[in-house]
Amino acid sequence: MLSKLRCTLLLGFFFPCGLLAQNSGQYTALFGEPTLETAYPFHEQRALVVIGDHYQYLTDKGMRLPFLFKRASEHPGFFENGRALIYTPGGKYGYINPEGLLVIDTMYTYARPFSDSLAVIRRNGFWGYIDIHGKEVLSFTNKYDILTPFKNDVAVVYNTGNTLSDDLQFGVINKKGEVIIPLQFNRIAGFNEGYAIAGREKDGGVGIIDKTGKFVVPERYEVLSDVHEGACAFQTAKSNKWGFINLEGKEIVPAIYEYVGDFHDGLAYVVNEGQKTGFINKKGVVVIGFRFKDAGDFSEGLAAAAVDTIKNNKRATLYGYINRQDHWVIEPSFESAMPCTDGKMLVSYWVNNQLKQAYIQKK
């Protein structure tokens, strides 16, 4: 069994092969870094990890990028559009490229990760967006209090008024800086698939708008999630149960669940009254039964799922990965499991009474 595992000494991380030997026929352990106490999923073939008191990025081959920066309470984010946000001990922000080279200098007092090839920054009175080369392309100094990342080629902007909670005025701009939805809303969530959750009144309901600001679903709901695969989860105030509607406002899944995820790969996880998790399709049909203690969204054809089992003569909840046919692709072996991204999964397990993290991929 041990011979099936890749046991290497790489970049100072020794991978103790016996720890992940169980079920090794189903997956390959990557990079040899079970000593990691904090790590994050891959995105654009780069993963953020904590090395001592610093952040550093790993490549998809397990190599460390040369740029490292002091760990702080603020999470720097992930690679997006070939750029990753970093910051100095003095609180200045900049961006590195996938090779770990600083390509946009640490000169901003405020910055957010790139999205749709633009990033929100503040510097020397400039308040607006830069492109991936660091060029200031949209300025909104003294115009909007809050700028949010672009998504679907639009960005939500708003002013806070006299008080942060009472006088919010939300609107939407395009990449030319033009207002395409006037600041007449009390709230607008970020756009997804061309639609956003929005409401005009402070204590009123919410509905779904398109990029013109038109309500395609009226403001009759207390709580709505983002649109995913043309469906949107809703919660009723009367029962606190969850169901789903489509973009015509038609109820496609009744509000009978304790909690739900979003649709991914055509399926959404749902939690029943017995606190068991299963998966439904957009017709509301249960296609994967309620047999899990916990589960997450499908990603790249896999979903992390947990079952109760016996480990070392004690009851334990262990995570593995299932496919859309409800087959275990990787048997439950881990204390936690993150969604599959870039073909890799981040899992955790106990090593000498300490919870450690490692990356794996299915064979």
Q: CA-to-CA distance for 156 and 203, rounded, in angstroms?
A: 20
109 and 177 fall within a common domain: no
Domain annotation covers residue 62: yes
Domain annotation covers residue 120: yes
Domain annotation covers residue 348: no
78 and 136 fall within a common domain: yes
89 and 128 fall within a common domain: yes
Q: Are strands 54-59 and 294-295 parallel, antiparallel or unpaired?
A: unpaired
Q: Which of 298, 323, 320, 322 is nearest to 307 (CA)?
A: 320
Q: Locate 346 and state its tokens.
A: 């981040």
Buried b (16+ CB within 10 A) or exposed e, 6-20: eeeeeeebebebeeb
Which residues form the domain of 50?
A: 45-143
111 and 153 fall within a common domain: no
Q: CA-to-CA distance for 27 and 344, rounded, in angstroms?
A: 10
Q: Are strands 314-322 and 196-199 parallel, antiparallel or unpaired?
A: unpaired
75 and 97 fall within a common domain: yes
Banded model confidence at residue 74, pLDDT cuts 50, 70, 90: confident
91 and 152 fall within a common domain: no
How many residues would you count in the chain? 363
The Cα-based distances of 215 to 126, 199, 238, 316 in angstroms read 34, 10, 24, 47
Long-range contacts of 171-174 (CB under 8 A, 24+ apart): 172/196, 172/211, 172/213
70 and 157 fall within a common domain: no
92 and 124 fall within a common domain: yes
Banded model confidence at residue 37, pLDDT cuts 50, 70, 90: confident
Is residue 128 within 8 A of residue 164, CB to CB? The reply is no
CATH code assigned at 108: 2.40.128
Give just the sign of the alpha carbon dihedral 174, 178, 180, 183.
Answer: positive
Domain annotation covers residue 329: no
61 and 122 fall within a common domain: yes
Q: Locate 34 and state its tokens.
A: 């079970």
- Tell me what percent of the residues of the chain surpass a pLDDT of 90: 74
Question: Would you say residue 83 has pLDDT above 60?
Answer: yes
Rounded to a whole number of angstroms, the CA Rg of the chain reads: 23
Domain annotation covers residue 72: yes
Domain annotation covers residue 137: yes
Domain annotation covers residue 237: no
* Alpha helix (H) residue ranges in 30-172: none
Confidence at residue 7, expressed as pLDDT on a 0 to 100 scale: 26
Last residue of a domain, one of 143, 172, 203: 143
Domain annotation covers residue 216: yes
153 and 139 fall within a common domain: no
Provide the mean pLDDT of the chain: 90
Name the phi and psi angles at 139, rounded to 5. Answer: -110, 130
H-run or E-run covering 217: strand 215-221
Q: CA-to-CA distance for 347 and 27, rounded, in angstroms?
A: 12
* Per-residue model confidence as pLDDT tens digits over 280-324: 999 999 999 999 999 999 999 999 999 999 888 889 999 999 999
Last residue of a domain, one of 143, 169, 196: 143
Question: Would you say residue 213 has pLDDT above 80?
Answer: yes
- What three-state secondary structure class fits 17? helix
- Tell me what percent of the residues of the chain surpass a pLDDT of 70: 90
Give the number of domains in the chain. 2
Banded model confidence at residue 75, pLDDT cuts 50, 70, 90: confident
91 and 109 fall within a common domain: yes
Banded model confidence at residue 17, pLDDT cuts 50, 70, 90: very low
Last residue of a domain, one of 126, 143, 160: 143
* Per-residue model confidence as pLDDT tens digits over 141-200: 989 999 999 999 999 999 976 555 567 899 999 999 999 999 999 999 999 999 999 999
DSSP annotation of 49 reads E
51 and 128 fall within a common domain: yes
